[in-house]
């Protein structure tokens, strides 16, 4: 919803020149330093690994990849799974 609000406000209150400038900034991936890409793509896997490590250290089973194994064995299961995730 916040994205929709920004787009509506941008369309209503900004000139076409300002709208072009906005879209240029939004879609210019070269303006982001490589270090920030590393942060962006490595944050979730690193935090997941730390959580998994703590789970194992505290006596847990670790990651149970039952759903992943099921999807690998039957890739068509991915379709209803994606629909369920999309509805949330």
Q: Is the Cβ–Cβ distance between 77 and 70 less than 8 Å?
A: yes
What burial letters (b/e) apply to 69-80, b meaning 16+ CB within 10 Å? eeeeeeeeeeee
Question: Could you tell me the residue ranges of all domains in the chain?
Answer: 1-30
**pLDDT tens, the chain, 88 aa long:** 788 998 999 999 999 999 999 999 888 888 888 899 999 899 999 999 999 999 999 998 877 778 778 888 988 888 887 888 777 6
The whole-number pLDDT of residue 47 equals 94
């Amino acid at each position: 919803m916040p994205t929709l609000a920004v787009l509506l406000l941008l369309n209503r209150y900004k000139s076409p020149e300002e709208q072009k400038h906005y879209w240029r900034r939004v879609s210019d991936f070269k303006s982001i330093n490589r270090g920030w890409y590393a942060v962006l793509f490595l944050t979730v896997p690193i935090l997941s690994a730390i959580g998994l490590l703590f789970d194992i250290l505290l006596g847990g089973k670790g990651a149970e990849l039952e759903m992943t194994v099921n999807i690998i064995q039957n890739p068509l299961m991915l379709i209803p799974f994606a629909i369920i995730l999309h509805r949330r």
